[in-house]
Amino acid sequence: MRHFGELYIDGQWVAPSTEGTRSLVDPTSEEPWATVASGGGVPDVDRAVAAARRAFVTFSRTTVQERIALIDRVIAAYERRAPELSALIAQEVGVPVSFSAQVTGPAGHMRVARDLIADYAFEQRIGDVVVRREPIGVCALISPWNWPLQTSVIKVVYGIAAGCTMVLKPSDAAPASGVALAEIMDEAGVPPGVVNLVIGRGSVVGDALSSHPGVDMVSFTGSTGAGVKVGESAARTVKRVCLELGGKSANVVLPDGDLEKAARWNVQRGFSNSGQSCHAPSRMLVHEYQVSDVLPFLVEEVERLRVGDPRDPATTHGPLIHAQQYASVQRHIEIGLAEGGQLITGGPGRIEGFDRGFFCRPTVIADVTPGMTLAQEEVFGPVLVVMAYRTEAEALEIANDSVFGLGGYVFSEDPARGYAFASGLQAGRVSFNGAATDSFSPMGGYKQSGIGRSMGVFGLEEYLEVKSVYGFPDRAEALPERR
């Protein structure tokens, strides 16, 4: 049995200040597969932040080319370990090895960040004023368990690209992925103190980082409830926060939309990662006269899914992360049926043939109305609700009737009609007819889905502070070289 017992601080693997270990449970077998240190405490956070502050003095002054070379080394180290990483997250969080985007995606994000800074204007002029964008400082990076590698990589690589130093706290449910990433940073020769890793509970390590006076910015991805606590803690020292929080995204099929395409795409996108994605289209809005037409397509597509051991290449959908998440999804399904939802496929209880593992039946429930629990709360599991609307105005009202505003989806055969509808959605990302998103455009949410953006230029600028320098003549030779 493996043991993850150390933290990574100032370029060294060190023992945490607190004693004790706990088990990591394989979500497929429900058996322990590794042990991990119980978690760091406030003294460990203090050590990590101090190391990051020392490193910032030098790393913030590195050139763009130096940081590009460093990112290249990180990419090479990451890709050498890709097969191992795929096996790790299959065991740690139940991500199928067939879901390659969880492992290949991070390298792509690193390349985008690397290429972006090659041409980014860290300095520009407004008359005689030089406007500089400088690294903001020490960043606390708090990552979730559902995309344990990709989310952490995006945070870390944009911090490096900007010239910041950082302390990474992976999810308490997926610490092994964080350890692997720190090992990669070490192998790539990231200077001591630039990237530090502290494992521990959010209520201890996360709060200590968020409120720490030595931290200049907090980037957090997770639930809205936890994000509120991060924001409250960060406000005590008036630091910048970038929060990507919950979602209850609507997929609106306009009357002229391709029902079959919309239905099949909704199942494929919404149930990927076993529905444990904040952007999942978990509400499908269909015109009232077309609901009966779309349901057979949904059932047929659900039946194509292959739920099973995530280490089996034939598996498309693995288990949920842990017993608590499984219980939460089961509770939501039962509430949805008790409130009047019509079960179309799936339902509560174990999948036939599975006597262990946190496997959830892929479920579709129709006749869901805006006031029902399943229409309002984020389930974070393979559960899709189908909702009827009478007019496009009502569809827009239903889609926006949520405290969340992370993603939105529109299907229509008329691009002008679809764009007009998409423009009315209160969401940070909207996809038309199943169009794929990319790593260059910003990701983030409206309302209680968050503050700030990640990825691309907007994501880079979350790690930069703006300075105006007055009085310099408009001559290039009078200025120092651009970083």
Residues taking part in catalysis: 244, 278
Q: Which of 181, 16, 223 is nearest to 88 (CA)?
A: 181
Label residue 6 left, alpha or beta by phi (over 0 means left) and psi (-120 to 50 means alpha).
Answer: beta
User: Do 452 and 462 contact (CB within 8 A), yes or no?
Assistant: yes
User: Rounded to whole angstroms, how far apart are CA atoms 408 and 449?
Assistant: 12
Q: Which of 244, 208, 238 is nearest to 445 (CA)?
A: 244
Question: In which element (H, E) is residue 383 found?
Answer: strand 383-389
Sign of CA dihedral 335, 337, 338, 340: positive
User: Rounded to whole angstroms, how far apart are CA atoms 479 and 481?
Assistant: 6
Q: What is the DSSP letter of 279?
A: T
Q: Which of 86, 200, 68 is nearest to 143 (CA)?
A: 200
User: Rounded to whole angstroms, how far apart are CA atoms 386 and 288?
Assistant: 10
Edge-to-edge strand list for the sheet holding 12-14 = 12-14, 7-9, 195-197, 165-169, 138-142, 217-221, 240-244, 450-451
Q: Which two tokens stand for residue 282?
A: 């978990």
3-state secondary structure of 91: helix
Half-sphere exposure of 122 (CA within 13 A, CB side): 22
3-state secondary structure of 11: coil
Q: Which two tokens stand for residue 296?
A: 């057979």
